[in-house]
Structure 1
């Protein structure tokens, strides 16, 4: 097994192992190499860089996917990953809400609804507003 693949899988074990297994299963009959590429590039080459920790990387990823507005499944996976690396539900929602200023209210509302799905599965609702 390639060192890049091992390195990427180590990060995925920490962040979101189930998501990559689901991805592999979904791609196995059409594009099996695409799952490997996901492991070997972002998770091996980007997520393992030392300057930024996993907690911050996952918040940045949640922000980017929220702003894209076209990656609901991936956003839910990364919201779950953000929780797995010690981000609080409140921090995640705050980052998604900030995207309303940069990506618009529809993107932020959709992002919050994705967070709600993940939080509901993990029995983390209701959240209390601090403002």
Structure 2
């Protein structure tokens, strides 16, 4: 079984939980846990749709999906917490720090310098936290 494909009898929810754990690890689970007391149904939707349906599709690998997600969240310019989670996820699935920085810098052309600056500062925080955790 390809990691992204559905196993026989696996529900969208189960597939989403498996994909989120593989991509985001504890950072993704922290987001889900934070929704528990305010919107547990929304947490289920996060498992089922983005991770159970979209991330599990064939056609793009997890690396490419995270590069696209980092680009999109950078371009939005107002999703720094989610951007940090997906920068971490990119690192988890094999995107290098250099590739993340280049992806964010590329967004300066399409989303503007403020969005790219915010993205670079978010990346800097993630890289520092990760290197501190690995020390």
Structure 2 unpaired stretches of 5+: 1-9
Q: TM-score, normalised by structure 2?
A: 0.87
Task: Give deviations 1:64-116, integer Å, cap 9, x for gaps.
Answer: 00000111110000000000000100000000000000000000000000000
Structure 1 unpaired stretches of 5+: 125-131
Q: TM-score, normalised by structure 1?
A: 0.90
Pairwise CA distance, 1:23: 1.7
Of residues 99, 118, 131 in structure 2, which corresponds to 1:91?
99
Q: How large is the Cα RMSD of the aligned pairs?
A: 1.3
Distance in 2, Cα, partners of 1:42 & 1:61: 11
What secondary structure is seen at the aligned counterpart in 1 of 2:14?
Answer: helix
Distance in 1, Cα, partners of 2:60 & 2:86: 16
Of residues 3, 8, 32 in structure 2, which corresponds to 1:24?
32
